[in-house]
């Protein structure tokens, strides 16, 4: 399955962006301009069942990962490739790592585990209720005062396009867990409801660079934009100087 993408910018390298559950490629709207200004091509995908990508009520995490890999190979087969995944998107990134082999992976506030065995109808109904609660920009601003008006509009629009059955399906299979590969970056809120201190220690022991942003919300770049970009100088730092001719 080829996924819908925002594809913008030019440069020798590509940055892949994978949003969290009930988000969309638009969730990265604040981060895309500084990335392209730093000379990166940016590809932000709508994961299956999100945004303008296809729905699949029998989706597995392996199929979601394969769709990401297929789309990246179709749009940007060259190197270098960096990837940022948030929450559910980080889980999909971890599941796709062996096939995708990014030069740099950034996992944002995700435990990189997936609990399976859920009742399909019950979980679909729960996600449908969660979706309804996110349809109003005004409601999102009340529950997330750190959102800007545009953040709220973007996330309400993403909720309207979200398909509960597709995303519920991935939690009806078996349990999955991943460790971030050595050399990757794990960026978490502190405290985090998703990445415990024990998780952080396990990730660091496997060679990941665990970085924390105190007081940040789960969507770190919405609540702490400057701290988020400053914490990733590999991607948001000043571009390298041009060689002398």
| Domain boundaries 5-115+177-236, CATH class | alpha beta
pLDDT digits (tens, 9 = 90+) for 68-108: 999 999 999 988 999 999 999 999 999 999 999 999 999 99
CB 190 within 8 A of CB 210: no
Whole-structure pTM over 0.85, yes or no? yes
State what percent of residues in the chain have pLDDT above 70.
97
pLDDT on residue 78 = 83
112-116, Cβ contacts within 8 angstroms, sequence gap of 24 or more: 112/177, 112/178, 112/179, 112/180, 112/203, 113/175, 113/176, 113/177, 113/178, 114/61, 114/170, 114/171, 114/175, 114/176, 114/177, 115/171, 115/175, 116/171, 116/172, 116/173, 116/174, 116/175, 116/176
pLDDT on residue 241 = 56
Domain ranges of the chain: 5-115+177-236
How big is the chain by its Cα radius of gyration, in Å? Answer: 17
What confidence tier does 244 reach under pLDDT thresholds 50, 70, 90?
very low
């Amino acid at each position: 399955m080829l996924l819908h993408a925002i594809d913008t910018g030019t440069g020798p390298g590509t940055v892949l962006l994978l949003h969290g559950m009930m988000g969309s490629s638009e969730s990265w709207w604040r981060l895309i301009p500084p990335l392209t200004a730093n000379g990166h091509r940016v590809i932000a995908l709508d994961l299956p069942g999100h945004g303008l990508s296809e729905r699949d009520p029998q989706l597995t995490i392996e199929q979601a990962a394969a769709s990401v890999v297929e789309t990246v190979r179709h749009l940007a087969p060259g190197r270098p490739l960096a990837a940022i995944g948030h929450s559910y998107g980080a889980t999909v990134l971890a599941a796709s790592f062996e096939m995708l082999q990014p030069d740099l992976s950034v996992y944002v506030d995700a435990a990189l585990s997936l609990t399976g065995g859920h009742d399909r109808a019950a979980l679909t109904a729960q996600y449908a209720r969660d979706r309804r609660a996110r349809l109003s920009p005004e409601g999102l601003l009340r529950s997330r005062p750190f959102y800007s008006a545009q953040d709220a509009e973007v996330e309400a629009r993403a909720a309207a396009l979200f398909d509960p059955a597709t995303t519920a399906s991935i939690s009806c299979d078996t349990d999955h867990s991943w460790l971030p590969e050595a050399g990757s970056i794990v960026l978490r809120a502190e405290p985090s409801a998703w990445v415990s201190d024990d998780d952080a220690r396990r990730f660091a022991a496997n060679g990941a660079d665990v970085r924390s942003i105190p007081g940040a919300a789960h969507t770190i770049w919405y609540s702490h934009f400057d701290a988020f970009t400053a914490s990733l100088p590999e991607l948001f730092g000043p571009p390298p100087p041009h060689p002398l001719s």
